[in-house]
C-alpha cells in the first residue's frame, strides 16, 4: 500500500510545475483570451517535446506507455496553471483511437498526436445533454460511400482547432464511433464561449455529413462501453484539473491571509479566515485522495474503478467550487476584480464541473453501483 | 502509487476474518466480566495492544495490521475491546514518559483489562481551553491531595485508574503549572456520577475528587510537565480505526438502501425518487472519499511518517462527514428516521460510539464527534497554524502571559 508518488512521478510533477510557471503564467492565459484559436501553438509543440501528449500512448507510437496516475499529475498542474488548450480532449481522443482503432487509424493519428502535429477532440455530449452514450440521438446511416452522420453535438471542447473529430452516432447496429474531418461537407462548427475565456467549446451541426467506411472506429454498434469508459476517464482528468485550480486558489488565499492586514493584524490570525482556509485545505486534500485513488484504480483495473471515477468527479466538482469561491471571499474586494488572477482558476473549475458528467450525473452512477 | 494490499496484509486479513468468525460472541455481552472476557480473548489472539512494543506485552504489529483488525471487527459488528483509551493513549503515554516501575506495575494489567483506565482531563470550565483546568494536586511530600471536578470521562464507573491532569503550581502561567499523575479511582475521595447524553444512554461521567490521594511515585514525568505530556498523547493517534470506521458507514449505508427499498412514498419505493437518489449518491461519494483518505493515512504510517498536525485534517473530515451523513439519512427516511428502535425495514446500525442503535441513534451520536478530542473549531485552529502556517491569533490569555 503506497499512496505517495514514486520518484519518477514526483519528477514529472516538478518538471510540469516548472515548465508551466515559466510558459503558462496568468499573463499568458490572459493574452490568449482574445486569440481566435485560444491556444498557443508554440506551447503545444513544447509540451509535445516534453512527451506530454504521448504520455499514456504506447511506445510504438512515440509514447511513454504511462498511466492515468501520470496523466492526472500532469492535468493537476495544467489546472493549477489554468492552461488554455486542447490537451485533455486530444489525449482522451487518442485513448479512444488506441482502444478501438485499427492499425491504419493508430498509425495515422497516434504518432501525429504524440509529436504535437495533430489535435483531436471527442464529441461526447448530444443535443439532449445526456452523458449516457445510450441516449445519443445523432444518427449514422449507411450510404453508397460509407456513412452519413446527422444530428447535433453540444459543447465539444476545442473542435475549432482539431484535425480530427471523434463523433459518436447511432448506426442501425447501435452506438458507433467515427473519425470525422472537421472540413467535411454538411458539418457546421459554431463556437460557444462560456465565462472562462480560456475554455473553448464548439457546437456541431451535422446534416448528412459523409464519412468513409475506413473512418469507423471499432465495430459498428459496439461503441457504448468504450464511450462510457471515455466519459469516466475524461471525468478523472477533469477532476485532476479542478483539483489543480482549487489548490492554486487555496495557495493564493493562504498567502494573502498572511500579509493582508485589517484591525492591525494579518487577517489570517482571525478565526473567521483561518477556519475557512482550514476547511479549504480539507477539501483540497480529500480531492487529492479522490483523484489519485480513481486514477490508480483505472490503471490497476481495480474492481471499483468505475465507481471511483464517479466519486472523484462528483466530490471534486463540489469541493473545487467551494474552495475557489471561498478564496474570493478570503480576498474580499480585490478577489472580485478582473485584474486579480483568482477568477481565472475559479472559472476554470466551474467550466470543468459540467464536463464529462456533472455532479448529478455522477451521483446517479454512484447510486446505481452502490445501491443494488 | 500502489494501493493494493500486500500479500502479507491480505493473508493477515484472511486469518483475522477466520478467527473472528470462530470467536465473535453470538450474544450481547451484558456483564463487565463478559466484556473483560472478550477483551482477554482478543488480547491473547494478538488483536489488542497491537502497536505496543513486545517488551511491555504488546505485539509490535504494523498500523496497517491494526487497521485491518478494526476493519474486520467492524465488518461483523464485533464488540470492541474494553480498555480503548488505556490501550490507545494512556498506555503509550506511560511507555514514553513513565518510570520502569510504573511500566511494570500498570501496563500488563491494562492490556489484559484486569484494570480499566479512564482519562481525567476535561473540566466544566476547561474544555477547548484545557490548560485553564482548576483541579488542584497539593504536594504532601510522598503524595498529592487532589481536589476538583472532571467531566466527559468515558468508562468512569468501571474504571480502576485514571490519568489525571491537575494544577500543581498556581503562580506560573497556566500551561506551566500542570502535572500528570495516575489516580486510583477506587478510593473514598473519588466519586463517579454518570452523565446522561442526548442519546439517552450514559457513556460519560462526571468525576468529583475530594481530598483524593495520588502517590508521588505515580507522577508521570516531572512535576509541572503535565501539559507537554498531554500534548504528546495527541500524537498516538495511529489511524487504527481508519478502515473500521468506513466499514461501519458502509454497513449503515446498506441498511439505508434496504430501508429506501421497503419504505414507499406516493406508491413507489423511496429509492426510485430522484431526489432521494441524488442525496444517496452524495453520501456514498463522501463515504468513499473517507475510505481513500484512510488508505492515504495508513500508507503514510506504513512508511514511518508521523501525521502530526495533519491528523487534525482526518479527524475534522470524518466527524464533519458523519454529521452530514446522518442528517441526509434522516432526511431521506422522513418520520421513520426518528425511530430509536430497529424495525423490519432497517436493522440496527453501529454508531460512532460503538453503541448499536438506529439511524436516529447514529444521528444523535454524530453530534459528539465534532466536540470530543478537540472540537472542529480547535482542529481548524491547529490546521491553520501548524499546517497552513497562518499567524497566531491574538488571545486575551496570551496578552496577560
User: Can you tell me the distance from the alpha carbon of A285 to that of B297, in angstroms, rounded to the nearest whole number?
Assistant: 11
Give contacts of A 263-302 with B, CB under 8 A.
265-266, 268-271, 273-275, 277-279, 281-282, 285-286, 289-290, 292-293, 296-297, 300, 302
Superfamily of domain A225-370 in CATH is: Butyryl-CoA Dehydrogenase, subunit A, domain 3 (1.20.140.10)
- The answer to whether A151 and A139 are in contact (CB under 8 A) is yes
Q: Collapsing DSSP states into helix, strand and coil, what is residue A118?
A: coil
CATH number of A121-223: 2.40.110.10
B253-288 pLDDT tens trace: 999 999 999 999 999 999 999 999 999 999 999 999
Flag whether residue A163 sits within 8 Å of chain B, measured between CB atoms: no
Same domain for B258 and B372, yes or no, is: yes
CB A327 within 8 A of CB A253: yes
- Tally the C-alpha atoms within 13 A of residue A12's C-alpha that lie toward its C-beta: 21
Nearest to B280 among A4, A9, A371 (CB): A371
Looking at residue B343, its pLDDT comes to 76
> What cell numbers appear for B82 in the block?
474494553
B356 pLDDT higher than 70: yes
Please state the ipTM of this predicted complex.
0.95
Residue recorded with cell 494501493:
B3
Does the pLDDT value for residue B234 go beyond 80?
no
* pLDDT on residue B306: 79
Grid cell of A331 as nine digits? 480576498
Strands (E), B155-203: 161-167, 178-184, 190-195
Same domain, B271 and B345: yes
The grid cell for B56 is 511491555
pLDDT at residue B345 in the model:
72
Same-domain check for residues B142 and B168? yes
All CATH 2.40.110.10 domain ranges of chain A, comma separated, are 121-223
Domain match, B201 and B263 both: no
In a domain, B316, yes or no: yes
CB within 8 Å: B300 and A3: yes
Residues of B in contact with A69 (CB under 8 A): 1
Q: How many helices and strands (H and E) does chain A possess?
A: 11, 10
B176-219 confidence digits (pLDDT tens):
999 999 999 999 999 999 999 999 999 999 999 999 999 999 99
CA pair distance A189, B400, nearest whole angstrom:
70
pLDDT tops 80 at residue B133: yes
Report yes or no on B74 lying in a domain.
yes
Note whether B393 contacts A: Cβ–Cβ < 8 A: yes
Q: Domain check: are B39 and B136 in the same one?
A: no
Instruction: Report if residue B401 sits inside a domain.
Output: no
Same domain, yes or no: B173 and B262: no
Q: Residue B309's pLDDT is what?
A: 80
Instruction: List the grid coordinates of B188.
Output: 473514598
Contact in structure between A82 and A38 (CB atoms under 8 Å):
no
Cα separation, A53 vs A67, in Å, equals 12
The pLDDT of residue B401 is above 60: no
For residue A16, give the nearest of A66, A59, A60 by alpha carbon. Answer: A66
Q: What is the mean pLDDT of chain B?
A: 93
Closest residue of A to B315, CA-based? Answer: A282
Helices (H), B303-389: 311-333, 359-369, 376-382
User: Looking at B63, B82, B101, which one is the last position of a domain?
Assistant: B82
Local confidence band at B74 (pLDDT 50, 70, 90 cut-offs): very high
φ/ψ of residue A130, rounded to 5: -105, 125
B235 band by pLDDT with thresholds 50, 70 and 90:
low
pLDDT interval class at B238 (50, 70, 90): low
Asked whether residue B145 falls in the same domain as residue B215, the answer is yes
* B259, B373: one domain: yes
Confirm whether B320 is domain-assigned.
yes
pLDDT at residue B107 is higher than 90: yes
Q: Kind of pairing, strands A187-193 and A216-217?
A: unpaired
Residues 6+ apart with CB under 8 A from A341: A26, A252
> CA-to-CA distance for B23 and B18, rounded, in angstroms?
9
The span from the CA of B167 to the CA of B264, in Å, is 59
**B175 part of a folded domain:** yes
Q: Which three cell numbers stand for residue B207?
A: 468525576
Q: What is the DSSP letter of A106?
A: H
Domain CATH for B49: 1.10.540.10
Please report which helix (H) or strand (E) contains residue A11, including its range: helix A7-23
Q: What is the DSSP string of A268-304?
A: GGSHHHHHHHHHHHHHHHHHHHHHHHHHHHHHTT-TT
End residue of a domain, out of B196, B224, B252:
B224
Q: Is B383 on the interface with A (CB under 8 A)?
A: yes
B281 contacts A1? CB cut-off 8 A? no
- The verdict on a CB contact (< 8 Å) between A289 and B298 is no
Catalytic positions of B are: 237
Name the residue among B1, B289, B389 with its Cβ closest to that of A290: B289
Cα B68 from Cα B150, distance rounded (Å): 34
Give yes or no: residues B247 and B383 share one domain: yes
Domain count, chain B: 3
Of A265, A277, A363, the CB nearest to B282: A363
Q: Which domain holds residue B14?
A: 7-82
Fold of A7-93+106-117: Butyryl-Coa Dehydrogenase, subunit A; domain 1 (1.10.540)
Are A289 and B394 an interchain contact pair (Cβ–Cβ within 8 Å)? no
Is B205 strand, coil or helix? strand
Q: Within this chain, do residues B267 and B301 fall inside the same structural domain, yes or no?
A: yes
Nearest residue on chain B to A360, judged by CA atoms? B278
Lowest mean pLDDT among A346-360, B88-102, B292-306: B292-306
Cell of A105: 487509424
Residues 6+ apart with CB under 8 A from B325: B249, B252, B283, B286, B287, B366
According to the model, what pLDDT value does residue B315 have? 93
Query: Is B282's CB within 8 Å of A314's CB?
Result: yes
Which of B167, B197, B224 corresponds to the end of one domain? B224
Contact list, B321 vs chain A (CB under 8 Å): none
For residue B273, what is the nearest residue in chain A, using CA coordinates? A364
Q: What is the pLDDT along chain A (372 residues), one digit of tens a residue?
A: 899 999 999 999 999 999 999 999 999 999 999 999 999 999 999 999 999 999 999 999 999 999 999 999 999 999 999 999 999 999 999 999 999 999 999 999 999 999 999 999 999 999 889 999 888 999 999 999 999 999 999 999 999 999 999 999 999 999 999 999 999 999 999 999 999 999 999 999 999 999 999 999 999 999 999 999 999 999 999 999 999 999 999 999 999 999 999 999 999 999 999 999 999 999 999 999 999 999 999 999 999 999 999 999 999 999 999 999 999 999 999 999 999 999 999 999 999 999 999 999 999 999 999 987
Nearest CA in chain A to B304: A2
Per-residue model confidence (pLDDT) at position B394: 83
Please say whether the beta carbons of B131 and B175 come within 8 A: yes
Exposure letters B267-294 (e unless 16+ CB within 10 A, then b): eeebbebeebbbbbbbbbbbbbbbbbbb
pLDDT of residue B31 exceeding 70: yes
Whether residue B96 lies inside any domain: the answer is: no
| Pair B286, A311: CB distance under 8 Å | no
- Residues of chain A within CATH 1.10.540.10 domain(s) are 7-93+106-117
Distance (Å) from the C-alpha of residue A67 to the closest C-alpha of chain B?
A: 11
How close, in Å, is residue A211 to chain B by CA atoms?
Answer: 39
The whole-angstrom separation of Cα A61 and Cα B65 is 44
B107, part of any domain = no
Rounded distance between C-alpha atoms, residue B262 and residue B306, angstroms: 46
Which H or E run contains A205?
Answer: strand A200-211
User: Which one of A3, A253, A281 would you mutate to disrupt binding with B, by most B Cβ within 10 Å of its Cβ?
Assistant: A3
Which SS3 state, helix, strand or coil, does residue A175 take? strand
pLDDT of residue B338: 92
Say whether B47 sits in a helix, a strand or coil. Answer: coil
Of A207, A315, A21, A267, the C-alpha closest to B391 is A267
Q: Are residues B197 and B286 in the same domain?
A: no
Report in angstroms the alpha-carbon separations of A56 from A353, B241, B340: 24, 37, 53
Same domain, B376 and B247: yes
Alpha helices in B303-358 (DSSP H): 311-333
CB of B14 within 8 Å of a chain A CB? The answer is: no
The answer to whether residue B393 sits within a structural domain is no
Burial class (CB in 10 A: 0-12, 13-18, 19+), A138: buried
Single pTM value for the model: 0.95
Confidence check: pLDDT of B8 > 70: yes
Task: Determine contact, residues B116/B159, Cβ cutoff 8 Å.
Answer: yes
A157 contacts: CB under 8 Å, gap ≥ 6:
A86, A88, A89, A121, A199, A200, A201, A202, A355
Amino acid at each position: 500500500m503506497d499512496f505517495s508518488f514514486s520518484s519518477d512521478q514526483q519528477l514529472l510533477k516538478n518538471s510540469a510545475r516548472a515548465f508551466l510557471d515559466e510558459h503558462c503564467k496568468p499573463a499568458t492565459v490572459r493574452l490568449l483570451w482574445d486569440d481566435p484559436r485560444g491556444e498557443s501553438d508554440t506551447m503545444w509543440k513544447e509540451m509535445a517535446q516534453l512527451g506530454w501528449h504521448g504520455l499514456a500512448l504506447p511506445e510504438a507510437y512515440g509514447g511513454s506507455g504511462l498511466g492515468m496516475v501520470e496523466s492526472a499529475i500532469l492535468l493537476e498542474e495544467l489546472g493549477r496553471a489554468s492552461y488554455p488548450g486542447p490537451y485533455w480532449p486530444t489525449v482522451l481522443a487518442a485513448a479512444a483511437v488506441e482502444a478501438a482503432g485499427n492499425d491504419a487509424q493508430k498509425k495515422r493519428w497516434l504518432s501525429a498526436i504524440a509529436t504535437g502535429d495533430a489535435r483531436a477532440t471527442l464529441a461526447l455530449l448530444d443535443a439532449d445533454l445526456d452523458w449516457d452514450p445510450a441516449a445519443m440521438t445523432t444518427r449514422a446511416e449507411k450510404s453508397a460511400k460509407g456513412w452519413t452522420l446527422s444530428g447535433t453535438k453540444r459543447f465539444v471542447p476545442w473542435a475549432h482547432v482539431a484535425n480530427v473529430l471523434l463523433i459518436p452516432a447511432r448506426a442501425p447496429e447501435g452506438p458507433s464511433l467515427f473519425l470525422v474531418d472537421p472540413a467535411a461537407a454538411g458539418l457546421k462548427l459554431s463556437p460557444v464561449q462560456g465565462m472562462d475565456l480560456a475554455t473553448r467549446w464548439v457546437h456541431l451541426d451535422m446534416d448528412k455529413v459523409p464519412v468513409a467506411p475506413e473512418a469507423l472506429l471499432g465495430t459498428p454498434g459496439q461503441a457504448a462501453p468504450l464511450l462510457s469508459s471515455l466519459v469516466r476517464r475524461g471525468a478523472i482528468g477533469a477532476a485532476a484539473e479542478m483539483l489543480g485550480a482549487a489548490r492554486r486558489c487555496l495557495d493564493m488565499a493562504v498567502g494573502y491571509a498572511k500579509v493582508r492586514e485589517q484591525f492591525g493584524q494579518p487577517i489570517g490570525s482571525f478565526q473567521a479566515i483561518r477556519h475557512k482556509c482550514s476547511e479549504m485545505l480539507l477539501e483540497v486534500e480529500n480531492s487529492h485522495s479522490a483523484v489519485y485513488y480513481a486514477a490508480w484504480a483505472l490503471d490497476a483495473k481495480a474492481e471499483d474503478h468505475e465507481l471511483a471515477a464517479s466519486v472523484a468527479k462528483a466530490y471534486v466538482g463540489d469541493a473545487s467550487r467551494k474552495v475557489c469561491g471561498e478564496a474570493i471571499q478570503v480576498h474580499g474586494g480585490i478577489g472580485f476584480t478582473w485584474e486579480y488572477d483568482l477568477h481565472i482558476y475559479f472559472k476554470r473549475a466551474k467550466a470543468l464541473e459540467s464536463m464529462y458528467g456533472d455532479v448529478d450525473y455522477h451521483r446517479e452512477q454512484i447510486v446505481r453501483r452502490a445501491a443494488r | 502509487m500502489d494501493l493494493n494490499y500486500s500479500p502479507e496484509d491480505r493473508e493477515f486479513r484472511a486469518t483475522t476474518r477466520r478467527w473472528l468468525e470462530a470467536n465473535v460472541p453470538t450474544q450481547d455481552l451484558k456483564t463487565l466480566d463478559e466484556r473483560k472476557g472478550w477483551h482477554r480473548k482478543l488480547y491473547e489472539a494478538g488483536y489488542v495492544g497491537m502497536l505496543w512494543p513486545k517488551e511491555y506485552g504488546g505485539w509490535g504489529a504494523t498500523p496497517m495490521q491494526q487497521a485491518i483488525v478494526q476493519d474486520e471487527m467492524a465488518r461483523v459488528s464485533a464488540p470492541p475491546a474494553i480498555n480503548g483509551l488505556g490501550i490507545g493513549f494512556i498506555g503509550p503515554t506511560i511507555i514514553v514518559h513513565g518510570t520502569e516501575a510504573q511500566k511494570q506495575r500498570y501496563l500488563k494489567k491494562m492490556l489484559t483489562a484486569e484494570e480499566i483506565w479512564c482519562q481525567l482531563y476535561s473540566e466544566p470550565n476547561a474544555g477547548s481551553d484545557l490548560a485553564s483546568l482548576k483541579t488542584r494536586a497539593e504536594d504532601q511530600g510522598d503524595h498529592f491531595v487532589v481536589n476538583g471536578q472532571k467531566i466527559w470521562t468515558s468508562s468512569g464507573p468501571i474504571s480502576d485508574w485514571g490519568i489525571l491532569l491537575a494544577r500543581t503550581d498556581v503562580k506560573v502561567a497556566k500551561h506551566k503549572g500542570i502535572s500528570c499523575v495516575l489516580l486510583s479511582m477506587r478510593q473514598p475521595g473519588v466519586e463517579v456520577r454518570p452523565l446522561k447524553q442526548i442519546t439517552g444512554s450514559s457513556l460519560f461521567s462526571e468525576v468529583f475528587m475530594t481530598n483524593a490521594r495520588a502517590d508521588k511515585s505515580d507522577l508521570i514525568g516531572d512535576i509541572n510537565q503535565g501539559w507537554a505530556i498531554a500534548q504528546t498523547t495527541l500524537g498516538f493517534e495511529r489511524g487504527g480505526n481508519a478502515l473500521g470506521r468506513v466499514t461501519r458507514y458502509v454497513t449503515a449505508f446498506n441498511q439505508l438502501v434496504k430501508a429506501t427499498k421497503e419504505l414507499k412514498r406516493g406508491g413507489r419505493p423511496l429509492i426510485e425518487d430522484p431526489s432521494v437518489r441524488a442525496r444517496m449518491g452524495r453520501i456514498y461519494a463522501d463515504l468513499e472519499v473517507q475510505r481513500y483518505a484512510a488508505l492515504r493515512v495508513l500508507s503514510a504510517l506504513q512508511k514511518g511518517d508521523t501525521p502530526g498536525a495533519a491528523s487534525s485534517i482526518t479527524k475534522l473530515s470524518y466527524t464533519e462527514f458523519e454529521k452530514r451523513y446522518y442528517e441526509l439519512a434522516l432526511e431521506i427516511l422522513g418520520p421513520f428516521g426518528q425511530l430509536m428502535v430497529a424495525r423490519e425495514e432497517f436493522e440496527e446500525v453501529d454508531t460512532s460510539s460503538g453503541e448499536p442503535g438506529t439511524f436516529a441513534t447514529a444521528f444523535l451520536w454524530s453530534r459528539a464527534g465534532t466536540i470530543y478530542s478537540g472540537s472542529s473549531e480547535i482542529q481548524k485552529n491547529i490546521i491553520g497554524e501548524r499546517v497552513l502556517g497562518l499567524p497566531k491569533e491574538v488571545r486575551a490569555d496570551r496578552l496577560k502571559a
